[in-house]
Amino acid sequence: MPKLILVRHGESQWNLENRFTGWVDVPLSPKGEEEARIAGEHMRDLPVDKVYTSVLQRAINTSKIALAAAGKTEDLPTERDEALNERHYGDLQGLNKAETAEQYGDEQVKIWRRSYDVPPPGEKGESLKDTAARTLPYFEAHILPDIKAGKNVLVVAHGNSLRSIVMALDKLTKEQVLELNIPTGIPLVYDLDDAGNVLSHAYLFER
């Protein structure tokens, strides 16, 4: 029974500073590195045959730190792709989330952050729906075939790129996805059948 392990990167420097990050390539904070290590320690007994990450350093370094802490070999087959990047936050990138909420109101900021189909302002800004339009085809073309081949797959990515994947796996509605928040550095483990259907899923530990 193959496993799919989804991990949101550890706390980044801009998570710490409460800034919209999106595609900006910020490093992990010291706490984020520690979260990655703890995630890895909990993964010691989980098999991993293949690793997927975004191209952003906070996801790449989370996977490296976690795999080392899990005692896995350094040369696991790995694919990195922009398709797994965080949603692009458009003109919000770099702004402080609390200050933006003061300026535009909590409700508007919640819509930008959590709604399914409202993109943040700016030409490049992606809604969750836009994000899913790149994560899900990638998932189906790359990750699903590995699962169907019986491989245990680790995906280290981002709050919203993972929300789009979880929405599809758990068949969440647009309303349900509004309340979905994925914590940093806590592996979410899916048991799948050989056709890629979800049998069960659970976080590996609670913080």
Give yes or no: 140 in active site. no
Is residue 139 within the footprint of ligand 3PG (CB under 6 A)?
no
Distances, alpha carbon 41 to alpha carbons 10, 35, 44, 65, 68, in Å: 14, 10, 6, 10, 9
Min separation Cβ 56 and ligand 3PG, Å: 10
Burial 129-141 (b: 16+ CB within 10 A, else e): bbbbebbbebbee
Q: Which stretch binds ligand 3PG (CB under 6 A): 39-47, 75-83, 145-153, 157-165?
A: 157-165
Any contact of residue 20 with ligand 3PG (CB under 6 A)?
yes
Known catalytic residue: 86?
Answer: yes
Interaction pattern, residues 40-79, with ligand 3PG; x per rule: CB under 6 A: ----------------------------------------
Determine if residue 21 is labeled as part of a ligand binding site.
yes
Parallel, antiparallel, or unpaired for β 50-53 and 153-157?
parallel
Residue appearing with tokens 């409202």: 118
Residue 42 marked in a binding site: no
* CB 20, min distance to ligand 3PG, A: 4
What is residue 84's DSSP assignment?
A: G
The span from the CA of 53 to the CA of 182, in Å, is 16
Catalytic residue among 17, 35, 79, 86: 86
Asked if 22 interacts with ligand 3PG (CB under 6 A), we say yes
